[in-house]
Structure 1
Amino acid sequence: MGGGGEGPAWRDSLPYYYCVKFALSASSTLFSTAGLVIFCVGVYAEVERQKHRTLEGLFLAPAVILILLGITIFAVSFIGMVGSLRDNRTLLKTFFWVLLAIFITELLLLFVEIIFEKQMNAVFHSSIQDGIRHYYDDLDFKNILDYVQQKFSCCGGDEFRDWHVNRYHSCNGSGPLACGVPYTCCIRKAPGEVINTLCGYRTLNQERLELVNTIHVRGCIHAVSFWFKDNFEATLGIVCSLFLPWHARPEETMTECSLR
C-alpha cells in the first residue's frame, strides 16, 4: 500500500519535472550562446577602438559594456544550463539567487533614477555633452548617438541646442554644419525616406515651435526615460514570469525526480 501511495505523486511530478528541465535547459543554452556572441563582439569592438581611440571613459567605451554584459549573461546562463542538465541542486539554487539579485538590483536602480531624477539627468547630460563635443572624433559614440536619436526620435542630451558645444555645429562656426544639427535629428515624413544630410541646417538659432515639423526638439535623456517608464509594466511582467516556475522550488522537484 505504501508503494501505491507514492505512485500518483510520482506520476504527477514527472511531467512537471521534464517541462521545467527542458524549459530551463533550452533558455539557459540560448542565453549562454547569446552571451558568448555579445562577449566576442565586445572584444572585437574594443580591439578596434584601441587602435583609433580618441576619448576616455567607460561611458564613451560601449565595447567595454558589451564585454561585461556578455560575461555576465554567459556565466549566469551557464550555471543554469549545467544545473538543469545535471540536476544539481546547488547550481540551481545559485542560478535562482543570482537572477533574484539582478532583478532586485534593477528595481533599486529604477527607484534611484526616479527619486534622484534631476541629479541623474545632470550626470547623463554632462556625459552626452562631452560626447557631442567630440562627436566626429569618436566613431563609437557617433554611431550610438545616431542610433538613439533615430530610434527614440530625439536630438541631443537635454534638448537639441546641446549641439552648440560641437565646434562644427556651433553658430560661431563658418562651415555648412554651422548652427545646425545632424541629419539623425530630422523628422522623417515617411518610412524609408531618404533624408537630406543638411536637413538640420540653421536650426539652432530658431525657436522650438518653428522646428516641430523639421527636427526632433526633445532631448534623448527625456525620450529614453519616458520609454523606460512606458515599458516598465511590461518589462516587470516578463521578469516576474521568469520566477513563476520557482514557486514550487523546482530545484527540489528536479533532484527528487532524478533520484527516483
Structure 2
Amino acid sequence: MTLLCITNDVPDLRSCTIRDQHLSTCENGKCGGCLPRPAEHGLLCYSCATKFDDALALSVDLISHCRSIESGPRDSSGIRSAPGSRVILPTSWVQADTLYRQLAAVAVAYSVDWGVDEPEWDITASHHNGFHPEAPIEAVWWVTDILTRYVSAATELLRTKHHGAEQAVRYVAAVQTALHAFPLDEKPHAVRHVRCRVCGHESLRVKPPLEHLDPIVVECSNLACGALWDPQMVEWDIRQLREQIEAERAKEAAA
C-alpha cells in the first residue's frame, strides 16, 4: 500500500500533487496535476519534508524579524497578550505570535505522539498566546531558538505520526504566509548540469521553496521559455546523467 502525503488526508489543507501528472480518472482539461504525491519522509512527501526543513532553518530569523519590526496597521481586535492587559499589536508582531504558536503546536504534537517531555517553556512566550508584549528581542530570539532546536531534533520521528505530520505542514503554511507578508532576502539558485526539457538551455533554477504559497518549483530562467518543472523530474534527469557517466567510465575501464 502506497502512503500518500498527509496533505491528502486533511480536508482544509491543499493536497500535494505532482505538477502535470494526472489520475486516470481526471477529465478536467484545466487541471494542473491531480496525481497525489507519495509520502517519502514519514507521512510527508518530498516537497513537504523539504519545505519543513527549510521552515525550521528560517524560524529563528523569521520570527525575530517579525517581532523586531512594527509593520502594517495595528490589529484593532485588541488581542489579549498578557493576563489583565489589552494590548493592540502591530500586524508583524501578531504574525510572530502566530508562528511561535504553530511551532509550539508541532512540539506539543510530537510530545503527545511519543509520550516524551515537552520543550522548556519560558515566561517570554506562551504556546497558547505567543510572546509577552514587553519581551525584548533578545529573549524572543532565545526562546525561539530553544523551541526550534527541540523540533529539529525530533523531525525524523514527529513526521511519522499523523498529528505531528499535520502540525508540521501547518507550520510550513504559517511560514509561507509570514514570508509573503514580511519577506527575508531569499534568492532562487541555479540547477547545474541539467537542461530545460523545452528549450534545451542549461537555465533551470529552483525558486525558494517558501517564496510562494505553492509547492517547490523549478523554473526555466530563459525569458523565451519560462517552463515550470516538478523537482522530481529534475532529480530524474540528474539520475540519468549519473548513470550515463558511470556507464561510460565502466566501459572505458573495461576497454
Q: Calculate the TM-score normalised by the size of structure 2.
A: 0.27
Higher strand proportion (structure 1 or 2): 2
Higher helix fraction (1 or 2) = 1
Q: Which has the larger radius of gyration?
A: 1
